[in-house]
């Protein structure tokens, strides 16, 4: 019989959140004429120094990357960006609407808890996606 293994709980993320709350946001805002969704899509995320993400080769878990990822998926579903596998536009307006609604729920549930930059990113992404959705759906 094997001995039971102990679970290792990584509590460092809680400390990181507290540090981030204390520090002012250092990320620059997107230029006024540039679309935040598209700007964030081309950026490569830096892995956390020494964290478990770096060991697995994953980007650091950040709110802006989460919003940008959902927005990118919505742009793919709108057919504005080619599907990464087929390299062809594959519009799916039903899925696009779901992702846009999901971002809307995220905005509602995080209201009052976001930095100015995070709130701007989310509002800009929602505005752009909703506008593109209405143009595609004829609504």
Q: Say if 43 falls within a structural domain.
A: no
Q: Say if 66 falls within a structural domain.
A: yes
What's residue 27's pLDDT? Answer: 41
Where is pLDDT greater, at 15 or 1?
Answer: 15
Mean local confidence (pLDDT), 112-125: 97
Residue % of the chain over a pLDDT of 90: 55
Instruction: Give the containing element (helix H, strand E) for 110.
Output: none
Residue in 74, 73, 85, 87 with CA at minimum distance from that of residue 137: 74
Q: Say if 34 falls within a structural domain.
A: no
The total number of structural domains that make up the chain:
1
CB atoms within 10 A of CB 119: 15
Q: What is the DSSP string of 32-94?
A: TTS-HHHHHHTPPPPPPTTSHHHHHTPPP--HHHHHHHHHHHHHHHHTSS--TTT-S----HH
Q: Say if 84 falls within a structural domain.
A: yes
Q: Say if 46 falls within a structural domain.
A: no
Running DSSP on this structure, what letter comes out for residue 7? P
Q: Say if 44 falls within a structural domain.
A: no
What's residue 138's pLDDT? Answer: 86
Q: Which of 30-44, 54-68, 84-98 is predicted with the least confidence, judged by mean pLDDT?
A: 30-44
Q: Say if 120 falls within a structural domain.
A: yes
Q: Say if 102 falls within a structural domain.
A: yes
Cα angle 123, 111, 74; round to 5: 40
Residue 138 burial class via C-beta count within 10 angstroms: exposed 0-12, middle 13-18, buried 19 and up = exposed
Confidence check: pLDDT of 55 > 80: no
Q: Are 59 and 45 in contact (CB under 8 A)?
A: yes
Instruction: Give the containing element (helix H, strand E) for 9.
Output: none
Cα angle 104, 107, 38; round to 5: 75
Print the domain residue range for 137: 59-139
């Amino acid at each position: 019989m094997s001995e039971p293994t102990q679970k290792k709980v990584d509590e460092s993320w809680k400390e990181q959140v507290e540090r981030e709350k204390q520090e002012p946001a250092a990320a620059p805002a997107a230029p006024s004429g540039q679309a935040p969704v598209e700007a964030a899509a081309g950026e490569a995320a830096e892995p956390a120094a020494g964290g478990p993400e770096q060991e697995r080769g994953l980007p650091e878990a950040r709110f802006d990357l989460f919003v940008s990822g959902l927005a990118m998926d919505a742009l793919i579903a709108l057919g504005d960006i080619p599907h990464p596998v087929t390299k062809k536009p594959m519009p799916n307006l039903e899925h696009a609407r779901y992702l846009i609604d999901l971002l809307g729920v995220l905005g509602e549930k995080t209201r009052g808890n976001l930095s100015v930059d995070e709130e701007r990113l989310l509002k800009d992404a929602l505005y752009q996606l909703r506008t593109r959705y209405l143009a595609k759906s004829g609504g």
